[in-house]
């Protein structure tokens, strides 16, 4: 690299040398992003119009996959399950995160310890968490049923009952995610000027009013941002379901990504799976764009 940059001044025209060396800096990262994100996004879209599979030659089949998808009752169930999961996880996570953040934003004894404890589940690997919760929910020797029996309540088949399984997964996800919400809310609370609280207190406002009239409105952009990232993340749930229920019982915990995985690697219907992936991608993209807009507005 014998480039002479000593002559470079803040001038408008950019020399060939400068451009060349900048692209040398960028090249490795760009190649990786191209292979791991850009090309796959385009490939997914193209594949969704074919019947690509390992077993037979590929044909272009137009919108057949999408038509099939909209009439597929299993897919409809998966969409319903995914929405159930997303709504069930997102809102309690945000409420708990906000309450924890407001509580820990004060100088309570053991603040750092509380914060670390609430953040521990976020650090745990998804699989370790799923394995531990599979044990907690275990019907015959699991601690949850043990506690229920001890206080005189009937034990439940948490992951084996179709009407309980999804809610059991939701509780685990809330446990894992509310630390994230807490941290983001804590950052948001730091940005609220103290004068606002002091003025409110001088005017004789009560704690509840201060919370509802100052804290909550001032956090609205943080709340919206958090809502988006939680939706985007919970929409893509896979690992916990793979470990804990495998989509069962009776398909009651089968989500879109889990079905996508099954369709691609279980039945090798890559084209059909790509159509699911495209639907998922477009849905998530909408939420991501909204989220990015909000982030921009917050930075500005």
> Scanning residues 223 to 242, which ones bind another protein (CB under 8 A)?
229, 232-233, 235-236, 238-239, 242
Which residues, 1 to 40, sit near another protein by CB under 8 A? Answer: 1-6, 8, 14, 18-19, 21-23, 25-26, 28-30, 32-33, 35-40
Residue 82, classed as helix, strand or coil, is helix
Task: Measure Cα distances from 90 to 70, 85, 98, 224 in Å.
Answer: 26, 8, 12, 11
**Using the rule CB under 8 A, is 259 a contact of another protein?**
no
Which is closer to another protein, CB of 38 or CB of 87? 38
Rounded least distance, CB 99 to another protein, Å: 8
State which residue, 35 or 163, has the beta carbon closest to another protein. 35
Could you say which residues in the range 61-80 bind another protein, by CB under 8 A?
A: none
- Minimum CB–partner distance for residue 168 and another protein (Å): 13
5 vs 163 by CB, closer to another protein: 5
Q: Please give the Cα distance from 148 to 187 (Å, whole number).
A: 38
Both ends of the chain: CA-CA distance in Å? Answer: 38
Least gap, CB of 296 to another protein (angstroms):
10
Cα-to-chain-centroid distance, residue 71: 27
Virtual torsion, Cα 84, 86, 87, 89, nearest 10 deg: 110
Coil, helix or strand for 50? strand
173 Rama class: left (phi>0) / alpha (psi -120 to 50) / beta: alpha
Contact partners, residue 120, CB within 8 Å, separation at least 6: 179
Figure out which of the listed residues 175, 219, 247, 253 binds another protein, where binding follows CB under 8 A: 175
User: Does 83 interact with another protein (rule: CB under 8 A)?
Assistant: no
**Rule CB under 8 A: is residue 56 a binding residue for another protein?**
no
The residue count for binding another protein (CB under 8 A) is 103
CB neighbours (10 Å) of residue 36? 9
Residues 92-131 that bind another protein (CB under 8 A): 96, 100, 103-108, 113-114, 116-129, 131
Quick check: 59 binds another protein (CB under 8 A)?
A: no
Minimum gap (Å) between residue 103 Cβ and another protein = 5
Cα 215 from Cα 207, distance rounded (Å): 10
């Amino acid at each position: 690299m014998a480039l002479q940059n000593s002559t470079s001044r803040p001038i408008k025209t950019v020399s060939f040398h400068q451009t060349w060396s900048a692209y040398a800096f960028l090249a490795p990262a760009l190649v990786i992003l191209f292979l791991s994100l850009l090309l796959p996004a385009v490939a997914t879209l193209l594949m969704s119009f074919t019947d690509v599979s390992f077993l037979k030659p590929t044909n272009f089949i137009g919108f057949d996959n999408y038509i099939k998808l909209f009439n597929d009752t299993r897919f409809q169930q998966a969409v319903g399950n995914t929405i159930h999961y997303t709504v069930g996880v997102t809102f309690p996570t945000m409420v708990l995160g906000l309450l924890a953040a407001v509580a820990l934003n004060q100088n309570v004894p053991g603040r750092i310890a509380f914060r670390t404890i609430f953040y521990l589940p976020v650090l745990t690997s998804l699989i370790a968490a799923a394995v531990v919760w599979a044990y907690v929910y275990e019907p015959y020797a699991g601690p949850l049923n043990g506690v229920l029996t001890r206080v005189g309540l009937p034990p439940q088949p948490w992951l084996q009952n179709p009407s309980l399984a999804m809610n059991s997964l939701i509780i685990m996800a809330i446990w894992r995610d509310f630390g994230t919400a807490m941290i983001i809310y804590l950052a948001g609370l730091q940005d609220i000027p103290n004068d606002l609280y002091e003025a409110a207190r001088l005017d004789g406002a009560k704690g509840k009013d201060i919370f509802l009239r100052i804290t909550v409105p001032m956090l609205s952009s943080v709340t919206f941002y958090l809502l988006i990232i939680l939706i985007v993340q919970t929409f893509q749930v896979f690992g916990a379901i793979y470990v804990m229920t495998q989509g069962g019982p009776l398909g009651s915990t089968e989500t879109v990504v889990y079905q996508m995985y099954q369709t691609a690697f279980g039945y090798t219907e890559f084209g059909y799976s790509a159509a699911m992936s495209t639907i998922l991608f477009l849905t998530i993209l909408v939420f991501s764009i909204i989220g990015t807009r909000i982030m921009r507005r917050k930075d500005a």
